[in-house]
Structure 1
């Protein structure tokens, strides 16, 4: 079988539309590729190649940052650093899961959905890792001893569970209700991010000078800007909508989305590392550090319920009847 399956200018049959993206005409891999063919496609130019590499290479960079952090931290005794290690480990998980999802998503229709179910679970695990790091190191001075901080982690866990379910459910609407599908998926990732970022938005935009250690403000602001830019590319399908077929291999919106997400994570990581170092003395004197049961419990709940969501929606794929050959809703 050929390594790629180029789309024709007309609408593909409905069962194949799950593999097609708006404005992307050519460079599709065969929709029943073997696992070996999927791996080999990393070294062939398809419309997924840069989607894979824009997360696979940063995965190794974040692994290197995580390993170097382990070398300088007394993991057993330095409880103040535990949230950082959780955050940095989750920052490795999501780009790896994304690169795997894009690599193996052409094995079959159901395999494609399951790959991205796992991708969504990894993204939400990273969202929780970010919330843990923010709660430990980046809360504004005026919120560190408030009821808001007491319930911040609880709602962050709840948000990740709901977000995983909502984003997985949205895939069932792709063919017949693509606009609703896109809206639900954007919402599924936007509202946990908004909740997680509320303390940062409060700190860097409303009261940027409240803390004597505010060198990290620029990093936090860059992180927010890059995240907004990533959301724009993910939602707008630009520039390929303006010139269908021209950006099939290089420069389409999902590639730009990946680059912005990685840059946002890099900015976020630098900000958290600075907050952890510069605010350590003040935070240890004025707040209680997150305990191991709190951190482990949050991660465990997220993993359990996210896996339940993924298993439930994966099983639902095999109970669904095959779609009829008609055009999808516009």
Structure 2
């Protein structure tokens, strides 16, 4: 009879330092797992299982919404929809990349860092997708055709390089300077979030009058901002596992909650964007310049290639630079030796 032997799990003190997670004491996969072991572990309860599924399942939800929209909207022939096309592709990409990163991050120390380099790149590109739709559909009426409107997406594209560069670099500081590493990674993602939401902040806080676009999208925007703030809080605080190490190893630790809040925030953001897109279509089509292939798909492709170049650079540095040795050390003094399978 065919039987499948699930990989055994380790405690934190059996793991190399680079694999440690704050407040997570057990449920670690072997740090030299095979690809098959990594895949099997997604069906085994480890401290990564919920992380994998909380982004893998939403990938299919967003893909389903994308396919439904493709039946009702002309994505290719209507320039007004090109920003939405880029956005929908990128909100499918980032949870899938995250799920893959969490699945295969235990193959080795090298693999762990490279997986998260790709994860950070996908998140950076997602921020660009947000900027496309905010520039196209969320921008206040009085800002249409202004300087900020014209340069909003190009600046957001440049921000993706800052985001990917800072977040990837932060991994090189993770073992020796963990606090600085966390600060840099947080800044890397807060920066594009704040920039992308400038038009929305203006609409919600500073705009008064008939051209402030208070429509049915506003509640969805508020829900999105609520979950975005909650996502950032969970990412930086490591609560609740920091208060009770070992109690939330498998269920309820901050990274799982972080994933759930991020997906909920993206869902409400998508609904808000779709509301603004439909309710403002006539006015925006009349008063703003139509998107071109260069300003949408061209910018998205340039950002994609640029971020891939950055990821390749950091991967090469990781593989060949002597300075990267500190984050690839198998053990630190006093660690227990890891037993082989």
8 Å Cα contact 1:208/1:217 also seen in 2: no
Looking at structure 2, the residues matched to 239 and 108 of structure 1 have their Cα atoms a distance apart, in angstroms, of 28
Per the TM alignment, residue 74 of structure 1 is displaced from its structure 2 partner at its CA by: 2.2
- Residue in 2 that maps onto 1:102: 102
1:205 is displaced (CA, Å) by: 2.5
Number of aligned positions between the proteins: 324
2:281 is aligned with 1:277: no
Residues 59 and 95 in structure 1, CA contact (< 8 A), matched pair in contact too: yes
Q: Normalising by the residue count of structure 2, what TM-score does the alignment of the two structures yield?
A: 0.91
> Is the CA contact 1:208–1:214 (under 8 Å) kept in the aligned structure 2?
no
Q: Distance in 2 between matches of 1:160 and 1:212?
A: 28
TM-score, scaled relative to structure 1: 0.94
Q: Which string of whole-angstrom CA distances, capped at 9 and with x for unpartnered residues, describes residues 75-115 of structure 1?
A: 33211111111101100000000000000000000000000
**Post-superposition offset of 1:280:** 0.4
Post-superposition offset of 1:212: 5.2
Q: Aligned partners of 1:327, 1:272: CA distance in 2, in Å?
A: 52
List alignment gaps of at least 5 residues for structure 2: 335-341
Partner of 2:171: 171
**Segment of structure 1 superposing worse, 266-275 or 292-301:** 292-301
Distance 2:115 2:55 in 1: 15
Contact 2:84/2:133, CA 8 A, preserved across alignment? yes
1:136-215 correspondence to structure 2 within 5 Å: 136-207=136-207, 210-211=211-212, 214-215=215-216
Q: Which stretch shifts more, 264-273 or 75-84?
A: 75-84
Paired residues for 1:169-318 under 5 Å: 169-207=169-207, 210-211=211-212, 214-318=215-319
Q: Tell me by how many angstroms 1:211 deviates.
A: 3.7
**Aligned-residue offset at 1:17:** 1.3
CA contact (8 A) 1:24 1:245 kept: yes
State whether structure 2 residue 29 is matched by structure 1 residue 29: yes
Unaligned runs of 5+ in 1: none
How far has the Cα of 1:304 moved from its partner? 1.4
Report the Cα distance in structure 2 between the residues aligned to 1:40 and 1:164, rounded to whole angstroms. Answer: 30
2:84 alignment counterpart:
84
Distance 2:333 2:194 in 1: 36
User: After the TM superposition, which segments of 4 or more aligned residues of structure 1 sit over 6 Å from their partners?
Assistant: none
